[in-house]
Amino acid sequence: MPQVSKQLIDGFCIWAIWLTLKLQNILIGPLPENGEGGRGRIAQFIQVVLHYRPLLYRLAFSAAASCLFWLAVWPLAAKLAFLASEIYASLLLIRFGAGAPRLGQFGKIVAAMWLPIAVIAVAIYLMFVNDQGRELGVGLMDPNQKGIFLGFALIYWALNNWLSARVGLDRAFRKPEKEQRLLFWGPRLVGVGAHLLAAISLSFAAWNQPDMQDGIERWLALAAPVAIVLATIFAWLLDKGFVSHRYQRDEQSATRKWVYAVGVAELFVLSGLVAAWLFDVQRGFSSATFCITISALFFLIVISWLRNKAPLGEIAPPEVWEEDRRFERNVTIFSTLVLAAPMLGAGAAVWIWPMQVGKIFGSLTIACFSFGSFLAFTNLLDLLTSGLARYARGAGFAVAPRAVAAVFLCGLVLPQSSHRSTPFTACDYATADAPRRAKVGLPLKFRRNGQTSQRRLLPGTRRLNGHTIPFVRKKSRFPCSS
């Protein structure tokens, strides 16, 4: 009997391994057959296991299957195929992140800015794939002047994107060079990506409005992303032609004529938005797009003006490099603390007045500010962990910043697990006492929209979904479930 059991277990394990390998070949492609031992860490292992071509084929197949299933009115199969598309897209991003350092300077820069890029990717999913996210811009269609709040929220999100990208690049490139143009404009492009997402969300909401289906209003719906793209190009040309000290004089002279051309195009778009607002053509959309564009221009121009100096050359003495790094570190500390203050203040306001804050500022503004607040929190956490790790190493302890960050996260998560959630948060003593009052014919107290009301019921009856039904008491552990 033991021998038979051993054979059954061995046969089952062999079959399970064979099935796993087959599923792997079907889902992500076969493994290399050279049989050589791997070298490196998790990034090198991912590069060996995941390959672009098999993943791209499967992504295209799953996306096509999702479209076909939707056309065939098979919603369950379409959702499963779309889920597979999301999984393959995530695997492609993981593969790109693992192999980014091997792509040269561009890959190294992208890998260093992974945190704000990941937040933008999450924002894309929540704002354009999620059903509720696609409706965030609808609240700005009315002429309620909420576009001003959205402009300030986007500046906050863009600044946090810029700061997170700058911190990552500072660790990857200890001595930046003048020729590394993307090293200086990469954080700014990541920052203005917040404005581009908000503009696309606003145009997406306007495109689906019934009163913007024909005429000039149809083209007006495309003005938001066009204005942000023109603003980005204009700010880049302005930085290269007039503001920055990283370019030669001949490059600046050749760029200045393009500054005027793109500036005229941007001014034309802004004038069209102002005219639409004055002539009462989609005033809410026009004012919100105008505020988003001005916000993007303000962010890009101010950052270009503040960060216009040329990097130190290789011939600079070590004490000059040390002084420059000390200044950059102080800028990082100052920026992190300043951007953390709105995050803490807004978090307290939302905690105390959640409905009032959402009603005043709008859903899209709250969503954009939330993305920036998350980055502000991570930047603050990174600053604290780096400082504590540096202090611990100075005291003789071998402490890494990641270990300090893990302790911080445990300190945030563990207190929440000690709070037992109440199973009847929506009811109070009045509704809990409803069965007794209904049984004796007393007026039934209930709460609706924050107000306590009374309704007299017949003995032995209760109200359920607007109807009076006989009351039967059941034994339940929850006071409001009877």
Q: Is 368 a residue whose pLDDT tops 90? A: yes
Whole-number pLDDT of residue 480: 42
> Residue ranges per domain, the chain?
2-31, 106-390, 429-470
pLDDT value for 440: 46
Spell out the long-range contacts of 135-139 with Cβ–Cβ below 8 A and sequence spacing 24 or more: 135/205, 136/201, 136/205, 136/363, 136/364, 136/367, 137/198, 137/201, 137/202, 137/203, 137/204, 137/205, 137/206, 137/288, 137/364, 138/205, 138/209, 139/362, 139/363, 139/364
Higher local confidence (pLDDT), 78 or 409: 78
The type of residue at 139 is G
- Distances in Å between the alpha carbon of 302 and those of 99, 154, 163, 255, 308? 34, 14, 14, 19, 10
237-238-243-244 Cα dihedral, nearest 10 degrees: -10
- The per-residue pLDDT for 295 is 96
Q: Looking at per-residue confidence, does 6 or 152 come out higher?
A: 152
pLDDT at 447: 44
Backbone phi, then psi, for 451, in 5-degree steps? -115, 140
Q: Dump pLDDT digits (tens) for 370-429.
A: 999 999 999 999 998 888 888 888 888 877 777 777 787 777 776 655 554 444 344 444
Q: Give residue 33's pLDDT.
A: 61
Region 5-20 average pLDDT: 85
Closest CA to 223 of 265, 194, 280: 265
Q: Is the pLDDT of residue 437 over 50?
A: no
Pick the most confident of 6-15, 83-92, 148-157, 201-210.
148-157
Alpha-carbon distances, residue 128 vs 131, 228, 246, 429 (angstroms): 8, 18, 38, 42
Q: Which residue has the higher pLDDT, 136 or 168?
A: 168
Intra-chain end-to-end CA distance of the chain, in Å: 55
Say yes or no to pLDDT of 476 above 50: no
pLDDT (0 to 100) of residue 194:
95
Residues near 176 by beta carbon (within 8 Å), at least 6 away in sequence? 169, 183, 184, 311
Taking the C-alpha atoms of residue 94 and residue 135, their distance in angstroms, rounded to an integer, is 29
Strands 467-470, 461-464: pairing kind: antiparallel
Give the tens place of pLDDT for each residue, 148-171.
Answer: 999 999 999 999 999 999 999 988
pLDDT at 32: 65
Which H or E run contains 462? strand 461-464
- Looking at 167-241, which runs of residues are DSSP E strands? none
> Which range has the worst mean pLDDT, 304-313, 365-374, 473-482?
473-482
Tell me the percentage of the chain whose pLDDT exceeds 70: 80
pLDDT tens string 264-289:
999 999 999 898 888 887 888 888 89
| pLDDT number for residue 86 | 85
**pLDDT 10s digits, 290-331:** 999 999 999 999 999 998 888 777 777 888 888 888 998 999
The yes-or-no verdict on residue 470 having pLDDT over 60 is: no
pLDDT of residue 442: 46
Of the ranges 128-137, 191-200, 389-398, the best mean pLDDT one: 191-200
Judged against a pLDDT cut of 60, whether residue 454 lies above it is answered with no
In the chain, the amino acid numbered 105 is Q
**Closest residue by Cα to residue 227 from 258, 269, 275, 263:** 269
pLDDT value for 257: 86
413: buried, middle or exposed (CB in 10 Å: 19+, 13-18, 0-12)? exposed
DSSP 155-178: HHHHHHHHHHHHHHHHHH-SS--T
| pLDDT beyond 90 at 457 | no
Instruction: Count the neighbouring beta carbons within 10 Å of the beta carbon of residue 447.
Output: 13
Cβ–Cβ < 8 Å for 364, 201: yes
